[in-house]
């Protein structure tokens, strides 16, 4: 292996061995993820665009990778940091090893890092720009300090689908038609929606008029990376859809819906990245264990009078869901479709289907 260094913008330095695609310098905003499994799904999640992923679990790659578990057409993260990359993988579903996947996908990585120390640093100071590679320390430090991070950048345009496509309904008899706006949509979201109807996926810049021209029964707003304030075109489109069609949003889609109704969004110190966040459903008082991946959140105190918070993160009180009953719109910050899990919040897709059915019935009655 080639020796390398990870250098953060504050000068903190970590030594390790380079893995994956070999580049002299890789830069990005360094965040940590607390998942115990699902590393392939995490690495291929478009929501990590612009970021370097630190895995807090010490042993990564032990069960290999396979073609089925890709969450997108490729990878969008800037790099991967691990404590120990498995030398051998063992699983009946494995088709290759993680190191080979990183190399083939062009994702640089660094192993042998003290990820406990790094995680504590990020937790205490917040997500921080960093750089790693084989370049000299002074060059890595300069690159880290020049890295802008994810604030004030429209990352959605780098991950959205360039052309629309369709996912047929799992039930051929289903008559529901769903338009999904791709802000960086994970594969398993499309498959989850297809359990309830035919899905037409459109790019993030699609206008409300073009979406409504497709005569959808409902519109889904997907997850995605970066700062929601940098996608005003998406907010404008959502404002044109509100009140005209049922809307369901997840993650970035939740934040964009919040901005569309007049709420503010804020950047969290180090975000939520993991598969074990407790969320309370305020309608049922039930606790759901959820998968999360976001750096920004809706400011609950800024919600307008016609909206209400429906879910709250029990770790830090962050708004995890909202609804605008008068406009037939709701959203959550967490991922009910999480692959490999948990699936405590999967019922939300059924809730969306019920909303579409009621809206369709009301429309027929009006006619």
Cα atoms in the Cβ-side hemisphere of radius 13 Å centred on 268: 24
Of 29, 251, 272, 327, the catalytic one is 251
| Tokens matching residue 220 | 């889904």
Name the burial class of residue 308, with classes exposed (0-12), middle (13-18) and buried (19+) by CB atoms within 10 angstroms of its CB: middle
36: helix, strand or coil? coil
C-alpha span between 255 and 252 (Å, rounded): 5
365: helix, strand or coil? helix
311: annotated active-site residue: no
Of 254, 277, 294, 335, the catalytic one is 335
335: annotated active-site residue: yes
Q: Quickly list DSSP for 5-17.
A: EEEETTS-EEEEE
Closest CA to 110 of 236, 22, 193, 11: 22
Residues of 124-137 as b/e, b for ≥16 C-beta within 10 angstroms? eeebbbbbbbbbee
Of 288, 320, 327, 337, the catalytic one is 337
| Sole residue written with tokens 């409504």 | 212
C-alpha span between 47 and 186 (Å, rounded): 9
C-alpha span between 276 and 38 (Å, rounded): 12
251: annotated active-site residue: yes
Closest CA to 107 of 161, 156, 158, 43: 43
φ/ψ of 112, rounded to 5, equals 80, 10
- Known catalytic residues are 251, 335, 337
């Amino acid at each position: 292996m080639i020796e390398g260094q990870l250098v953060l913008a504050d000068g903190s330095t970590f030594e390790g061995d380079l893995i994956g695609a070999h580049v002299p310098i890789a830069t990005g905003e360094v965040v940590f993820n607390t998942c115990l499994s699902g590393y392939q799904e995490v690495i291929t999640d478009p929501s990590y665009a612009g970021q370097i992923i630190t895995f807090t679990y010490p042993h990564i790659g032990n069960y290999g990778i396979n073609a089925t578990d890709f969450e997108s057409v490729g990878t969008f993260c800037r790099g991967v940091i691990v404590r120990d990359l498995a030398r051998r993988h063992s699983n009946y579903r494995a088709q290759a090893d993680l190191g080979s996947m990183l190399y083939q996908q062009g994702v640089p990585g660094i192993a042998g890092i003290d990820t406990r120390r790094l995680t504590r640093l990020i937790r205490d100071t917040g997500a921080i720009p960093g750089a790693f590679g084989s370049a000299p320390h002074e060059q890595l430090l300069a690159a880290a300090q020049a890295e802008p991070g994810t604030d004030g950048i429209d990352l959605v345009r780098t991950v959205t689908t360039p052309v629309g496509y369709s996912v047929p309904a799992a039930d051929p008899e289903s008559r529901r038609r769903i338009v999904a706006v791709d802000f960086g949509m994970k594969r398993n979201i499309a498959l989850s929606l297809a359990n309830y109807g035919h899905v037409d996926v459109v790019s993030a810049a699609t206008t409300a008029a073009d979406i409504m021209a497709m005569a959808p029964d409902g519109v889904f707003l997907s997850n995605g990376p970066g700062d929601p304030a940098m996608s005003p075109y998406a907010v404008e489109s959502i404002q044109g859809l509100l009140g005209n069609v049922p809307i369901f949003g997840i993650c970035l889609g939740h934040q964009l819906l919040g901005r569309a109704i007049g709420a503010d969004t804020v950047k969290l110190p180090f975000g939520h990245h993991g598969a074990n966040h407790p969320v309370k459903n305020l309608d049922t008082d039930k606790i759901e264990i959820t998968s999360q991946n976001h750096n920004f959140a809706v400011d609950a105190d800024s919600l307008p009078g016609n909206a209400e918070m429906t879910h709250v993160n029990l770790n830090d009180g962050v708004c995890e869901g909202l609804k605008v009953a008068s406009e037939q719109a709701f959203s959550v910050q967490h991922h009910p479709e999480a692959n490999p899990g948990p699936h405590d919040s999967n019922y939300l897709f059924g809730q969306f289907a019920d909303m579409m059915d009621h809206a369709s019935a009301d429309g027929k009655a009006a006619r």
